[in-house]
Chains A and B, each alone.
Chain A
Amino acid sequence: MAGGGGGGDGEPEFQIAPMIDVLLVLLVFFVMITSAEVLKVDKNIVLPVSPNAKAREPEMAKHEMAVNVRFDAKSNKGILVVDDREYNNWPDVVPILQESHKRDDKLRIVVRGDAAVPAGEIQRIMNLIGEAGIADIAFASSNK
């Protein structure tokens, strides 16, 4: 009972192997949570804060497609970015959405709009999503 092994004389001894085990487990834990969450956030977009929004459903993750609406302060308009490509003519995105919807019936469009974007711009992209025949949408927000 003398303090977890070590010398036979009853003196507790510092065990290096279990400490390394614990350290590595902690390290893996923190690496996992940082890489899982940080990658989802586009740094060009400041998401609106909404503490009561629901956490993203893990089972829906593979059915989600992000539509980013960045804010252009000069023109007070939104910049549409889908799959890292900017669209000047917004209706061009409709066939892409339709194509994705054909591939996946359960497709959910996650609208990631900047907090400063005018609501009319979000309405515009919602109309285009509706035109593509997709009903399931989600508005991304940040917890803080």
Chain B
Amino acid sequence: MKRNRRHRRKANAEVNLGFQIAPMIDVVFVILLFFIVQASDIQVENAHVTKLPGTVELKEGIVTPDEIAVRIEDDGQVYLNDDPLDTPEAKLLPEFASNLNQLRESSDASKSEVLVTIYANDLARYERVVDVLDALSRAKISNVSFQAGSSE
């Protein structure tokens, strides 16, 4: 009898210690699902790279660029060389971007460079400055500089 019990206990232990594939797959599926759901909500951080004015080394024989002044008012109104474009609510700034695109194309045709200087009012939201930078990226203008105070 004793030998029989021992044998049964040993057999049970062998069964329980075996690697269970089904629960492992369950767990892996749950973890996978968690990461898939989380991945769909990911915020990717991008950047607008620029150089600060006055610190960039100048190469000799540089072509004088066509300077464009962009002013951002406190209410978010954007002015391109003193002409108001788009409404303060327009996040994508379509008029502004198309005007910039035309300016860039005409500068390309005359083989000169476009330099945009942004004059943002102190109380204008930073978000609006980034909207302008976004429109500049769309117009493929990378020569951007900043200026404190008003353009006048």
B43 touches A30 (CB 8 A): no
CB neighbours (8 Å) of A50 from chain B are 46, 48, 130-131, 133-134, 137
CB neighbours (8 Å) of A141 from chain B are 45-48, 130, 133-134
B24, B28, B51, B126 interface centre (most CB from chain A within 10 Å): B126
Interface locus among A5-13, A83-91, A92-100, A129-137: A129-137
| Bound CA span A51–B125, Å | 18
Interface assignment of B104: CB less than 8 Å from any CB of chain A: no
B134 touches A120 (CB 8 A): no
Residues of B in contact, count (CB < 8 Å): 46
CB neighbours (8 Å) of A139 from chain B are 47-48, 50, 129-130, 133
Across the interface, name the chain A residue whose C-beta is closest to B48. A139
A123 touches B35 (CB 8 A): no
| Bound CA span A131–B76, Å | 29
Interface assignment of A75: CB less than 8 Å from any CB of chain B: no
Interface assignment of A122: CB less than 8 Å from any CB of chain B: yes
Q: Other than A50-B130, A120-B121, give 13 A-B pairs with Cβ distance below 8 A.
A: A27-B28, A37-B43, A37-B44, A37-B45, A40-B45, A48-B127, A117-B126, A120-B120, A123-B148, A134-B52, A139-B130, A141-B48, A143-B45
Interface residues, chain B, with chain A CB atoms under 8 Å away: 21, 24-25, 28-29, 31-32, 35-36, 38-39, 42-56, 72, 91, 120-131, 133-134, 137-138, 146, 148
Q: List 28 A-B contacts (CB under 8 A).
A: A16-B25, A19-B25, A31-B35, A33-B42, A48-B127, A52-B138, A53-B47, A53-B48, A53-B130, A54-B49, A56-B45, A115-B127, A115-B130, A119-B72, A119-B122, A119-B124, A120-B122, A123-B148, A130-B55, A133-B55, A135-B55, A136-B49, A137-B50, A138-B49, A139-B47, A141-B46, A141-B133, A143-B43
